[in-house]
Amino acid sequence: MTTRLVVGLDGHASGERALDFAVTQARLIGDCDLVVAYVIEWSPFSFHSAEENAQRHRRREEEISTVMSRVIDPAVNKLEKLGIKATGVVRHGDVADTLNAIAKQQKAAQIIVARSSEGGFSSRIFGSSTFNLVKGADLPVTVVQ
């Protein structure tokens, strides 16, 4: 049975550290594939006109496309060159809740994230997103230095 790990990326060196750790784990496990995930923080609790909602939807699609090309696709390509099966996903939402939901949906055995970052969601790590993920995840979370 294949073991699946979800790796939370942030587009910075900290995400690369989490990815490198996941590669090591995948090699130790053997029959393992990785899901690399990036969550674009977004609150659904703002109210807009129909025109603003259309613009917001367009902006969401542009953000997903940008993250796929700049973060996810290079990570998946790197993993495939290393002989590790990988897929990528980008979602909008609360980082902790969304990573947990992705992991549950993918039937992952573990979530791997970085402790801190030069920016992005994990700049608040162990102040918010990662702490909330560790506290509320439905499966084990490994936090990489």
- Report how far residue 51's alpha carbon sits from residue 27's, in angstroms, rounded to the nearest whole number: 49
Answer yes or no: are the C-beta atoms of 139 and 104 closer than 8 Å: yes
* Dist. CA 100–CA 2, nearest whole Å: 19
Residue 125: pLDDT band (50, 70, 90) is very low
Global pTM value: 0.86
Q: Is 72 helix (H, G, I), strand (E, B) or coil?
A: helix
pLDDT above 90 as % of the chain:
72
pLDDT exceeds cutoff 60 at 38: yes
Under 8 Å between Cβ of 119 and 66: no
pLDDT for 71-109, tens place per residue? 999 999 999 999 999 999 999 999 999 999 999 999 999
Nearest to 80 by CA among 110, 143, 36, 25: 36
Task: Report pLDDT digits (tens) over 13-34.
Answer: 999 999 999 999 999 999 999 9
Question: Measuring CA to CA, how many Å separate 122 from each of 32, 49, 95, 113, 135?
Answer: 26, 32, 9, 9, 15
